[in-house]
């Protein structure tokens, strides 16, 4: 599904990622863990195509294609989804309108018919139940005035609606209380499937109590310094990130 | 010693007059007066020509009327354009030769010129009426290659620098008062900081108008070469006189690549009496240019004095990534008028500017913020943020906020916010309930209102400014 | 002003005088006074502070035709209008009120201006007294040719239930026509109503609309003034609305400006008595070479007045947007509460916005603020939308639509909100085609 080779990335001349190698197969869930400032968010945003980052070296192949040759929206239309750590407020644009516009673009790209307003609403309401979202939500502007938990739930809802092949979740667990964490984890688990891959970026081990990854990688100083199975998370939780440095 | 009643002296603490023998030009302005000044200063021909150009330009110009200030017409032929304390031939060679009376004047103003008495970190150029009387710490600065001297001395010793930079930021006919200044300026300060040098101490000029019916027209030029850093302070006072006096200065700043200039002013010219009689007309042109990339110019001003203040310290942000800042507190009480603000001209890419203006009006005071932010088409990625707040005390005072914002490309951003309101009654009540006098309470609240600006002043100036504010507003609310 | 260019105005004025129109003496004097003021001042230049950002050279150099033959609209067009906008319709063609095709509500008076001026001497105290012909050259010019237009009078206590639409259709037969209609609204004590002034073009000829509206709100009246300006890009549109508010009255306005080559829209509100409130809203959307200038002036003269202003601009192509908004609080107007917000988006590197908010406060017991901003589309929001599969141009258009929603929401009535939404979406399409 996704293959990252020797990826180097800079922001305003400062190198953040210093050679990342990562292979994600269809159906796998990879957790990427690491302390603050290790480059986790940079990795997720580069994959989605944020204009502030310069790829200075290396390559990323997505479903056999050069990911960097695709624009931001082309990546999304071909199934790359980024759940933002800080979802953006869009005053004046309501959720339903926003999601319909996005979904229909993606359907168009897949050669499917666009949904009309009624069909879409029905479909959306179905999905909203899965993340326990109130219908009043539909008419509120995107992310504006949302609590932290609501914003994260909105990201998972968007993921459920847009049905991506590769979901990249950037600290979707941060700032959530335990109930919200459960709802969101369930939402994510429901989306696990043999033809969908998930990259879960997190600072804490906590969310991994609810979502069991196939692989765990530790990102430090812009490099993956350790990879392992699900037990690695527990070791990290116990010994801290310093321990990885020492080993 | 003083020619004013003691009650006045209590309000304006710098209102005394120094008795010195002065050498003055005849009243009025014509080409001969300009030649007289130029000759007195033994100036090279280029400078005399430059002055005459300015004068001829000035004759064709009209006094500006757009500012929100009113004053009776100024009779430019009734002003004395040159007045200097009489000196031994060739001027004082050292501090010992400076007139004792003048030294005593500065001491009284809290600016002793003997180096051993000075705060070690500040070098002072003292300008008395039309001439610089002393500059301290010259030798120490020389070790670093920093040139800091009176303008007249710079003309003699560094004519190339003067020729290169004088008028390069404020052209001779930039505006009416700048043209007048260019024609008749008599002295001022000059500073050059060479490449890569961080100036080891604060530089400052202290301006004092002493003589009667004399205008003061000084000129300041600061050049910070590549990668250098300098902080400059300016202070001003004048005796209590019942006639208005004109002060029309020009300040030019040039910052080359990666250089930083911080220019701070505490302006406390005599504001006139309670009924608006007397006081200084402070019509000043201040402008800096950030020539090189990553350079920075920061203006901080605390304007408490003068009958009328008319000045707009500005920045031309020419170098890419250059930064301009303007922090201002302007206080008007009684019949004072201030029309002040800034211009930020964004020419370079990714240039940044910040404007923070606090205006306080009491009694019949008139305060106007006038600002202009221009982001030109080529200045992509430019940013400006402006905040202007006005505080009102009294049903007959006024506060105007007149910004103008012009943005001409789609990657830049400019934001302006302004508020005007009365001094907060709850805060006043709270302070008084805790036992403060009304004056004290106001002083505390006003200080809080201005804090964001004060924190940009060098330490000793911040203390001074804060005190001044209290004095200026004394008794403004019953 | 160039003498030969001024000649056309004085000639037209003389021709009108000898044309044998009957008019009351006070109207004639008013017109003469206005003409004298116009001749003396001419059109303002960019040296005038209030016109610093709007260059009127094209108007100043223009040759205009003052007399036009009456034109009638095809019957089908009238029916379409009635269908589209419902009941109350006042139709103007080429600046002239066409009573025959207008459909008027029963409980209020709508009278063609020539007739009203002749039969109602009491208009002398309103017509031309609020609009400032001494300071404003366009008011002077309009007043000098006073004649066409309409008087709308809502009697005391009456409520105009269905909004009244004033449809100004320009369909000149030749280039260079000038239309100078005038609207006078007298809203009686405790009356209420809404009018929509709508300016549009039918043909493709160039022309000049110079309109003045005067609106008087008597004690306790409540009045809404909506304006839609979508004239052709060959038109000059110079408009000013002058509002006078008596005690306890409430005024609100909403102005959408999408059309014309060069527009100036001025709105003056005088809060002349205690406890009045006003809310001015608007949106100017430009593309191509359009120059759209929106100015406001709120004059707080008496205590406890409240004013709200909210304007947004969105400029694409090589268009230029100008906003100037003044709030004056006079001595004695204590407990004034005034806010003003002006926000602008630039969609192209060749577009430009100049904004000049002004606060002039002459007393201390007030709460006033203004805010102005000019900037690009939020970069991270564009990224967010694109990362959800929405193309770059659509992302921009959706964000721009979101940007203006806030000010559309300030229109209090649904019928007008819907109309705004539709017109704005259309204009945004055009703007994003260019960016």
CA of B192 vs chain C CAs: smallest distance (Å): 38
| pLDDT value of position B314 | 96
**How many C-alpha atoms does B236 have within 13 Å on its Cβ side?**
31
Residues of chain C contacting residue B361, judged by C-beta atoms under 8 Å apart: 364
DSSP, collapsed to helix, strand or coil, labels residue C371 as: strand
Q: How many CB pairs under 8 A join A and C?
A: 83
Residues of chain B contacting residue C332, judged by C-beta atoms under 8 Å apart: 395
What is the value of ipTM here, to two decimals?
0.89
Phi, psi angles (nearest 5°) of residue B461:
-70, -35
Inter-chain residue contact C406 with A48, CB threshold 8 Å: no
Cα C25 to its chain centre, rounded Å, is 29
What's the mean pLDDT in B372-396?
Answer: 95
What gap in Å lies between CA B360 and CA B331, rounded to an integer?
5
Residues of chain C contacting residue A102, judged by C-beta atoms under 8 Å apart: 385, 388-390
What's the mean pLDDT in B231-255?
Answer: 81
Inter-chain residue contact C358 with B402, CB threshold 8 Å: yes
| pLDDT value of position A175 | 80
Do B227 and B259 contact (CB within 8 A), yes or no?
yes
Confidence of residue B359 (pLDDT cuts 50, 70, 90): very high
In a mutagenesis test of the B interface, which of C326, C364, C370 is the best target, namely the one with the most B β-carbons within 10 Å?
C364
The first and second tokens of residue C380, run together, are 């991270």
Residues of chain C contacting residue B408, judged by C-beta atoms under 8 Å apart: 351-352
Do B247 and B220 contact (CB within 8 A), yes or no?
no
Residues of chain C contacting residue B398, judged by C-beta atoms under 8 Å apart: 360-363
Is there a domain that residue C222 lies in?
yes
What's the mean pLDDT in B279-297?
Answer: 94
Structural domains in chain A plus CATH codes: 2-246 (3.40.50.300)
CA of A231 vs chain C CAs: smallest distance (Å): 33
Q: Which of A89, A97, A102 sits opposite C389 (nearest CB)?
A: A102
Number of H helices, E strands in chain C: 9, 20
Burial tier of A195 (Cβ tally within 10 Å: 0-12, 13-18, 19+): exposed
What's the mean pLDDT in B293-303?
Answer: 95
- Dump pLDDT digits (tens) for C17-39: 766 567 889 999 999 999 999 99
Q: Quick count: other Cβ atoms within 10 Å of Cβ A201? A: 25
CA angle at residue A207 from A203 to A208, to 5 degrees? 95
- Higher pLDDT: B90 or A115? It is A115
- Dump pLDDT digits (tens) for C286-297: 999 999 999 999
B contact chains, 3+ CB pairs < 8 A: C
Inter-chain residue contact B416 with C372, CB threshold 8 Å: yes
Comparing B12-21, B54-63, C172-181, which segment has the lowest mean pLDDT? B12-21
Do C71 and C173 contact (CB within 8 A), yes or no?
yes
What gap in Å lies between CA A89 and CA A180, rounded to an integer?
20
Inter-chain residue contact B405 with C356, CB threshold 8 Å: yes
| pLDDT value of position A215 | 92
- Dump pLDDT digits (tens) for C359-397: 999 998 999 999 999 999 999 999 999 999 999 999 999
What gap in Å lies between CA C69 and CA B161, rounded to an integer?
73
Percent of all residues in chain B with a pLDDT value above 70, rounded to a whole number: 82
Inter-chain residue contact B404 with C354, CB threshold 8 Å: yes
Inter-chain residue contact A106 with C389, CB threshold 8 Å: yes
Residues of chain A contacting residue C403, judged by C-beta atoms under 8 Å apart: 91-92
| pLDDT value of position C408 | 96
Inter-chain residue contact C387 with A72, CB threshold 8 Å: yes
What gap in Å lies between CA C384 and CA A102, rounded to an integer?
11
| pLDDT value of position C222 | 97
Relative to beta strand A65-66, strand A54-62 is: antiparallel
What gap in Å lies between CA C330 and CA B337, rounded to an integer?
18
Phi, psi angles (nearest 5°) of residue A59:
-145, 160
- Dump pLDDT digits (tens) for A232-245: 888 887 887 777 77
Inter-chain residue contact B413 with C350, CB threshold 8 Å: no
The first and second tokens of residue C318, run together, are 């090589």
What's the mean pLDDT in C125-148?
Answer: 92
Q: How much of chain B is in helix, strand and coil states, percent to nearest 5?
A: 25, 35, 40
Confidence of residue B110 (pLDDT cuts 50, 70, 90): low
Residues of chain C contacting residue B414, judged by C-beta atoms under 8 Å apart: 372-375
What gap in Å lies between CA B356 and CA B451, rounded to an integer?
11
- Dump pLDDT digits (tens) for C45-102: 999 989 999 999 999 999 999 987 777 777 788 888 888 887 789 999 998 898 888 8
Report whether pLDDT(B8) > 50: no
Q: Which of C388, C401, C403 sits opposite A76 (nearest CB)?
A: C388
What gap in Å lies between CA C331 and CA C301, rounded to an integer?
8
The first and second tokens of residue C355, run together, are 């904004």
CA angle at residue B400 from B396 to B403, to 5 degrees? 175
CA angle at residue C74 from C228 to C207, to 5 degrees? 50
Do A2 and A32 contact (CB within 8 A), yes or no?
no
C contact chains, 3+ CB pairs < 8 A: A, B
- Regarding chains B and A, contact by 3 or more CB pairs under 8 A is answered as no
Q: Quick count: other Cβ atoms within 10 Å of Cβ A70? A: 16
Comparing A148-162, C69-83, C189-203, which segment has the lowest mean pLDDT? C69-83
Confidence of residue B239 (pLDDT cuts 50, 70, 90): low
Report whether pLDDT(B6) > 50: no
Q: Residues C83-116, buried b or exposed e (16+ Cβ, 10 A)?
A: eebeebbbbbbbbbbbeebbebbeebebbbbbeb
Inter-chain residue contact C386 with A49, CB threshold 8 Å: yes
Q: Hey, which residues does B406 pair with through a beta bridge?
A: B374, C354
Do C259 and C199 contact (CB within 8 A), yes or no?
yes
Measured on CA atoms in the order B391, B393, B395, B397, is the torsion positive or negative?
negative
Question: Which residues have a Cβ under 8 Å from the Cβ of B14 and sit 6 or more positions away?
Answer: B109, B237, B238, B239, B268, B270
Residues of chain C contacting residue B401, judged by C-beta atoms under 8 Å apart: 357-359, 370
Is there a domain that residue C372 lies in?
no
- Higher pLDDT: B249 or C435? It is B249
The first and second tokens of residue A147, run together, are 């609590």
Question: Which residues have a Cβ under 8 Å from the Cβ of A203 and sit 6 or more positions away?
Answer: A33, A34, A35, A36, A40, A171, A174
Q: Residues A161-190, buried b or exposed e (16+ Cβ, 10 A)?
A: bbbbbbbbbbbbbbebeeebbebbbbbbee
Domain boundaries, chain B: 6-311
Closest residue on chain B to C337 (Cα): B421
Inter-chain residue contact C405 with A75, CB threshold 8 Å: no
Enter the DSSP assignment of C356: E
Confidence of residue B139 (pLDDT cuts 50, 70, 90): confident
Report whether pLDDT(B133) > 80: no
What's the mean pLDDT in A4-21?
Answer: 92
What gap in Å lies between CA B310 and CA B336, rounded to an integer?
11
Number of H helices, E strands in chain A: 8, 12
Report whether pLDDT(B313) > 50: yes
Inter-chain residue contact A76 with C401, CB threshold 8 Å: no
| pLDDT value of position A172 | 87
Closest residue on chain C to B387 (Cα): C371
| pLDDT value of position B258 | 97
Residues of chain C contacting residue A48, judged by C-beta atoms under 8 Å apart: 383, 387
Residue B319 touches partner C, C-beta closer than 8 Å: no
pTM to 2 decimal places: 0.88
Residues of chain B contacting residue C349, judged by C-beta atoms under 8 Å apart: 377, 380, 409-411
Q: Hey, which residues does C264 pair with through a beta bridge?
A: C238, C293
| Boundaries of domain holding C79 | 3-273
Number of domains observed in the structure of chain C: 1
Comparing B194-203, B455-464, C281-290, which segment has the lowest mean pLDDT? B455-464
DSSP, collapsed to helix, strand or coil, labels residue B19 as: coil
| pLDDT value of position B1 | 26
- Dump pLDDT digits (tens) for A83-139: 999 998 888 888 888 888 889 888 988 889 888 888 898 899 888 888 788 888 888
Kindly report the average pLDDT of chain B as a whole number: 84
- Identify the contact set of chain A against chain C, taking CB-CB distances under 8 A: 48-51, 71-73, 75-77, 81-82, 84, 87-93, 97-98, 101-103, 105-106, 109, 141, 158, 162
Residue C430 touches partner A, C-beta closer than 8 Å: no
- Regarding chains A and C, contact by 3 or more CB pairs under 8 A is answered as yes
Beta strands in B94-249, from DSSP E residues, in sequence order: 122-128, 131-135, 147-150, 187-193, 202-208, 218-224, 229-237, 244-247
What's the mean pLDDT in B227-245?
Answer: 78
Residue C375 touches partner A, C-beta closer than 8 Å: no
Closest residue on chain C to B378 (Cα): C349
| pLDDT value of position B132 | 64
End-to-end CA distance of chain C: 38
Residues of chain C contacting residue A49, judged by C-beta atoms under 8 Å apart: 383, 386-387
Confidence of residue A3 (pLDDT cuts 50, 70, 90): very high
Report whether pLDDT(B430) > 80: no
Q: Hey, which residues does B202 pair with through a beta bridge?
A: B122
| pLDDT value of position A219 | 92
| pLDDT value of position B439 | 78
| pLDDT value of position B429 | 76
> Residue B120's closest CA among B360, B369, B460?
B460
| pLDDT value of position B27 | 85
DSSP, collapsed to helix, strand or coil, labels residue A58 as: strand
């Amino acid at each position: 599904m996704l293959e990252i080779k020797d990826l180097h990335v800079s922001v305003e001349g400062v190198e953040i990622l210093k050679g990342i190698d990562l292979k994600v197969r269809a159906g796998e869930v990879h957790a990427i863990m690491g302390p603050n400032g290790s480059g986790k968010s940079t990795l997720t945003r580069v994959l989605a195509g944020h204009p502030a980052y310069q790829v200075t070296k290396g390559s990323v192949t997505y479903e056999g294609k050069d990911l960097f040759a695709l624009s931001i929206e082309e990546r999304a239309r071909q199934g790359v989804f980024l759940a933002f750590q800080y979802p953006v407020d869009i005053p004046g644009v309501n959720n339903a309108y926003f999601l319909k516009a996005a979904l229909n673009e993606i359907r168009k790209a897949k050669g499917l018919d666009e949904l009309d307003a009624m069909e879409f609403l029905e479909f959306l309401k179905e999905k909203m139940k899965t993340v326990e979202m109130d219908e009043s939500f539909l008419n509120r502007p995107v992310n504006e005035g949302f609590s932290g938990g609501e914003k994260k739930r909105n990201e998972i809802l968007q993921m459920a609606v847009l049905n991506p092949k590769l979901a990249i979740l950037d600290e979707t667990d941060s700032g959530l209380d335990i109930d919200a964490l459960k709802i969101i984890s369930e939402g994510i688990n429901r989306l696990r499937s043999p033809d969908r891959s998930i990259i879960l970026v997190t600072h804490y081990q906590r969310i991994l109590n609810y979502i069991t990854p196939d692989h765990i990688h530790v990102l430090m100083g812009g490099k993956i310094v350790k990879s392992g199975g699900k037990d690695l998370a527990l070791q990290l939780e116990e010994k801290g990130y310093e321990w990885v440095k020492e080993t | 010693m003083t020619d004013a009643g003691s009650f006045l002296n209590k309000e304006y603490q710098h209102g005394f007059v120094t008795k010195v023998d002065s050498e003055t030009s005849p009243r009025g302005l014509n080409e001969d007066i300009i030649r007289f000044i130029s000759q007195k200063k033994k100036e090279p021909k280029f400078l005399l020509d430059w002055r005459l150009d300015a004068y001829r330009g000035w004759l064709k110009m009209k006094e500006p009327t757009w500012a929100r200030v009113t004053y009776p017409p100024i009779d430019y032929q009734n002003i004395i354009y040159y007045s200097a304390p009489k000196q031994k031939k060739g001027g004082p060679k050292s501090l010992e030769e400076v007139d004792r009376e003048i030294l005593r004047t500065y001491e009284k103003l809290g600016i002793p010129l003997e180096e051993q008495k000075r705060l070690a970190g500040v070098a002072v150029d003292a300008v008395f009426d039309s001439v610089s009387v002393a500059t301290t710490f010259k030798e120490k600065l020389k070790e670093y290659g920093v040139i800091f001297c009176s303008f007249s001395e710079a003309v003699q010793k560094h004519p190339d620098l003067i020729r290169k930079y004088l008028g390069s930021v404020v052209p001779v006919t930039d505006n009416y008062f700048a043209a007048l200044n260019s024609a008749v300026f008599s002295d001022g300060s000059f500073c050059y900081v060479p490449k890569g040098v961080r100036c080891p101490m604060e530089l400052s000029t202290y301006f004092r108008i002493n003589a009667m019916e004399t205008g003061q027209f000084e000129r300041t030029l600061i050049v910070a070469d590549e990668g250098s850093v300098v902080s400059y302070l300016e202070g001003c006072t004048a005796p209590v006189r019942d006639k208005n006096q004109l002060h029309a200065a020009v300040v030019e700043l040039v910052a080359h690549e990666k250089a930083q200039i911080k220019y701070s002013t505490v302006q406390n010219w005599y504001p006139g009496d309670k009924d608006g009689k007397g006081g200084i007309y402070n019509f000043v042109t201040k402008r800096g240019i950030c020539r090189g990339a990553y350079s920075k110019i920061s203006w901080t001003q605390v304007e408490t004095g003068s009958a009328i203040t008319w000045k707009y310290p500005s920045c031309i942000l020419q170098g890419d990534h250059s930064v301009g800042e303007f922090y201002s507190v302007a206080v008007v009480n009684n019949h004072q008028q201030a029309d002040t603000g800034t211009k930020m001209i964004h020419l370079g890419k990714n240039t940044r500017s910040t404007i923070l203006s606090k205006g306080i009006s009491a009694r019949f005071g008139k305060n106007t913020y006038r600002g202009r932010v221009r982001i030109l088409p080529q200045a992509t990625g430019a940013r400006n943020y402006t905040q202007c707040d006005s505080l009102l005390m009294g049903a007959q005072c006024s506060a105007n906020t007149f910004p103008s914002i012009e943005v001409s490309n789609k990657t830049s951003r400019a934001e302006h916010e302004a508020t005007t309101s009365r001094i907060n009654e709850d805060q006043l009540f709270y302070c008084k309930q805790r036992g403060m006098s009304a004056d004290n309470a106001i002083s505390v609240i006003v200080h809080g209102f201005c804090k964001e600006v004060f924190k940009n002043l060098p330490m000793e100036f911040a203390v001074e400014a804060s005190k001044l504010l209290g004095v200026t507003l004394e008794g403004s609310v019953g | 002003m160039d003498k030969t260019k001024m000649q056309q105005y004085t000639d037209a004025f003389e021709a009108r005088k000898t044309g044998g129109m009957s008019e009351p003496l006070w109207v004639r004097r008013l017109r003469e006074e206005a003409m004298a003021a116009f001749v003396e001042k001419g059109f303002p230049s960019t040296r005038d502070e209030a016109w610093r950002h709007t260059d009127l050279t094209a108007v100043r150099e223009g040759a205009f035709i003052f007399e036009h033959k009456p034109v009638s609209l095809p019957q089908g067009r009238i029916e379409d209008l009635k269908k589209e906008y419902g009941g109350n319709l006042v139709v103007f063609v080429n600046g002239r009120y066409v009573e025959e095709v207008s459909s008027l509500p029963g409980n209020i008076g709508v009278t063609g201006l020539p007739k009203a001026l002749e039969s109602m001497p009491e208009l002398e105290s309103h017509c031309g007294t609020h609009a400032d012909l001494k300071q404003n050259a366009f008011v002077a010019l309009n007043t000098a040719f006073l004649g066409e237009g309409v008087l709308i009078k809502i009697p005391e206590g009456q409520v105009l239930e269905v909004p009244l639409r004033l449809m100004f259709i320009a369909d000149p037969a030749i280039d260079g026509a000038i239309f100078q209609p005038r609207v006078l609204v007298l809203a009686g004590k405790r009356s209420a109503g809404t009018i929509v002034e709508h300016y549009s073009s039918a043909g493709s000829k160039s022309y000049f609309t110079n309109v003045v509206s005067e609106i008087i709100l008597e004690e306790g009246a409540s009045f809404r003034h909506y304006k839609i300006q979508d004239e052709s890009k060959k038109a000059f549109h110079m408009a000013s609305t002058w509002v006078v508010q008596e005690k306890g009255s409430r005024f609100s306005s909403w102005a959408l400006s999408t059309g014309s080559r060069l527009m100036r829209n001025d709105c003056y509100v005088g809060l002349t008595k205690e406890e009045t409130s006003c809310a001015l809203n608007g949106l100017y959307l430009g593309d191509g070479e359009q120059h759209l200038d929106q100015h406001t002036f709120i004059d707080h003269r008496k205590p406890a007045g409240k004013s709200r202003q909210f304007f947004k601009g969105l400029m694409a192509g090589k268009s230029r947007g100008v906003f100037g908004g003044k709030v004056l609080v006079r001595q004695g107007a204590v407990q004034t509460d005034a806010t003003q917000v002006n926000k602008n988006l630039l969609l192209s590197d060749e577009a430009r916005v100049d904004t000049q908010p002004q606060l002039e406060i002459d007393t201390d017991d007030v709460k006033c603020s203004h805010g102005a901003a000019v900037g690009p589309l939020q970069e991270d929001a564009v990224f967010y939308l694109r990362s959800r599969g929405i193309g770059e141009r659509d992302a921009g258009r959706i964000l721009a639509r979101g940007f203006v929603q806030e000010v559309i929401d300030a229109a209090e009535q649904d019928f007008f909100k819907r109309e705004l939404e539709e017109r704005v979406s259309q204009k945004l399409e055009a703007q994003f085609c260019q960016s």
